[in-house]
Amino acid sequence: MDDLLTRLRAGLPSEALLTDPDVTASYAHDMASFCDAGTPAVVVLPSTVEQVRHVMRTATALRVPVVPQGARTGLSGAANASDGAIVLSLVRMDRILEISPVDRIAVVEPGVVNAVLSRAVGEHGLYYPPDPSSWEMCTIGGNIGTASGGLCCVKYGVTAEYVLGLDVVLADGRLLSTGRRTAKGVAGYDLTRLFVGSEGTLGIVVRAVLALRPQPPRQLVLAAEFPSAASACEAVCAVMERGHTPSLVELMDRTTVRAVNRLGRMGLPESTEALLLAAFDTPDPAADLAAVGELCTAAGATQVVPAEDAAESEMLLKARRMSLTALEAVKSATMIDDVCVPRSRLAAMLDGTAAIAAKYDLTIGVCAHAGDGNTHPVVCFDHTDPGESRRARESFDEIMALGLELGGTITGEHGVGVLKKEWLARELGPVGLELQRGIKRTFDPLGILNPGKLF
C-alpha cells in the first residue's frame, strides 16, 4: 500500500491523489442499487494522458486493480470500487479540444459532461444526439464506457454510432489510437467499437473523436392517453410501420404518471393506463404529429394533445426525464431494469411485466423508450422487508427472462456492470462468452481493469 502510494506520487501532482478514507469512500458507488462495492485503496484524478499512463504502469507493476469512473451516474454498478483498487476518476480531463463544423466532429477528453458538449456544439449549429436522462451530469467517457442511449435513439441511434476514434491507455500504460477522424474507414478490425460499452474492462479512454450532426429544428411533442399498454404499443407499431421518423417515442404507465405528478406537480392525466409521448423535429412537425395523432386515435387513444409550443413540449419531456427519479420515491428502494425487445413484442413485454408485478404482489412502474422497444420496469419495494426484497429480486430476474424469451436483450442501454453479470452469460451463451473472455485476455492479460464487472 505504501509502495503503491509512493509510486503513484512519483507521477501525479499531490492534489490528484486522494487517500482520506472518508473521501475515498464517496467514490465507492455509482447510482445502481444493490450492487456490491469494495473499499478503494486510493482515488486518483489525473488531468493529463501522461498521468493516466503513469497510473496504469504503476497498477501493472504492482498488479493492483483499477476502476475507471466518470460522473458515477451509471445504473449497473460498472463504476463501483473493488477492495484495494485504484479508483481512476477521469472527471478532471474535461477539455473540449476541437469542434469542426466542416468535418462535423468534436474531439474531447473523457471527463466532458454530456450537456456541456451538447451546448458547445450547439453554438456551432451542430448536434450531439446521445442524451441519457443524466445528461446534465454524466460524462462522455462514461457514456462511451456504457454505450449510453437516451430519448433520441429512435431517430438518432446510440452513443456507439457517434464514436469515430479513440485514444486509449492500455492496462500496461501503452497508448493506443483507434479509428479515425474521417467519415468512413475500414482499416482492420473495429477496435473503436469494441471499447464502446466495454465498461472500462479493456482500457482507459483518454480522448474521443465524436461524430456530430447538423442541429435539427426544435422538436414538437404530442401526448396521447391510452386505455391499455397494449393499445399504446399498437399505436407505436403503426407509427413505425407507416414509415414515420419521430425524434422520440416514449411511454409512461399509470404508476409512472402518478409518481411524476407526486414528485413534480406536473398535472399529467392520472386516469390513463399508458401515456405516450411522440415528437418530431422535421421541417413540418405539426403535420407529422397530426398524422401520428390519427394513428393513436385509431389504436384506441382516448385523448390526443399536441403541445402548442416549445415550452409545452419541454414540460412533457421534463416529466418523462424525471420518471426514474419519481419512481425511486414510491417506496424505500428500487431495482431498475433495462430490457429491450423488438418493438413488435413491446405489448407482450409490458403485459408480461404487469403479470409479474401481480404474481409477486409488487409495484412495478414502467417507463419505456417505446419506439426502440426499450423498457425500464422499475421494481419498487421496501428494502427493510426481507420477503418483499426477495420478491423484488425474483421479479427483476423474471423480467429479464421474459425479455430474452421475446427475442430481446437484458440491457438496451444501462449496461451489465455488477447488476446483470450472471445474466450476461445467459444471453451470450457459452460460445459467445468464451470469445468475449478471450478478447478481455488479449487487452488485459493480468485482469487488472475493472475486475468483477461484465463477466
Window 156-175: residues binding a second copy (CB under 8 A)? 157-158, 160-161, 170, 174-175
Residues of span 220-249 touching a second copy by CB under 8 A: 237, 240-241, 243-245
Beta strands in 103-260 (DSSP E): 105-108, 126-127, 163-169, 175-179, 204-211, 213-214, 220-226, 248-253
Kindly state whether residue 178 participates in binding a second copy, applying the rule CB under 8 A.
Answer: yes
Residues of span 339-358 touching a second copy by CB under 8 A: 340-344
Give the Cα separation of 445 and 450 in Å (integer): 13
Question: H helices within 215-253, ranges in order?
Answer: 229-241
Kindly state whether residue 189 participates in binding a second copy, applying the rule CB under 8 A.
Answer: yes
Amino acid at 137: M
Q: Closer CB to a second copy, residue 147 or residue 378?
A: 147
Binding-residue pattern over the window 392 to 431 for a second copy, x denoting contact by CB under 8 A: ---------------xxxxxxxxxx-------x--xxx-x
**CB under 8 A: which stretch of 2-10, 33-41, 48-56, 95-103 binds a second copy?**
95-103
Among 290, 310, 329, 439, binds a second copy (CB under 8 A): 439
Give the Cα separation of 90 and 385 in Å (integer): 38
Give the Cα separation of 102 and 289 in Å (integer): 32
Rg value, the chain, Cα: 22
Among 14, 283, 308, 386, binds a second copy (CB under 8 A): 283
Determine contact, residues 138/114, Cβ cutoff 8 Å: yes
**CB under 8 A: which stretch of 252-260, 293-301, 365-373, 385-393 binds a second copy?**
365-373
Kindly state whether residue 193 participates in binding a second copy, applying the rule CB under 8 A.
Answer: yes
Determine contact, residues 53/47, Cβ cutoff 8 Å: no
- Parallel/antiparallel/unpaired status of strands 86-89 and 66-69: parallel
Minimum distance, C-beta of residue 282 to a second copy, in the bound complex (Å): 8
Kindly state whether residue 302 participates in binding a second copy, applying the rule CB under 8 A.
Answer: no
Q: Please return the burial class of 5, using the count of CB atoms within 10 Å of its CB with bins 0-12, 13-18 and 19+.
A: middle
Kindly state whether residue 94 participates in binding a second copy, applying the rule CB under 8 A.
Answer: no
Minimum distance, C-beta of residue 191 to a second copy, in the bound complex (Å): 6
Among 25, 191, 230, 446, binds a second copy (CB under 8 A): 191
**CB under 8 A: which stretch of 82-90, 100-108, 254-262, 266-274 binds a second copy?**
100-108
- Parallel/antiparallel/unpaired status of strands 333-336 and 163-169: unpaired
Residues of span 115-154 touching a second copy by CB under 8 A: 125-126, 146-147, 149, 153-154
Minimum distance, C-beta of residue 60 to a second copy, in the bound complex (Å): 15
Give the Cα separation of 83 and 85 in Å (integer): 5
Provide the residue count of the chain.
455
Kindly state whether residue 184 participates in binding a second copy, applying the rule CB under 8 A.
Answer: yes
Give the Cα separation of 102 and 182 in Å (integer): 11
Give the Cα separation of 56 and 366 in Å (integer): 41
Kindly state whether residue 100 participates in binding a second copy, applying the rule CB under 8 A.
Answer: yes
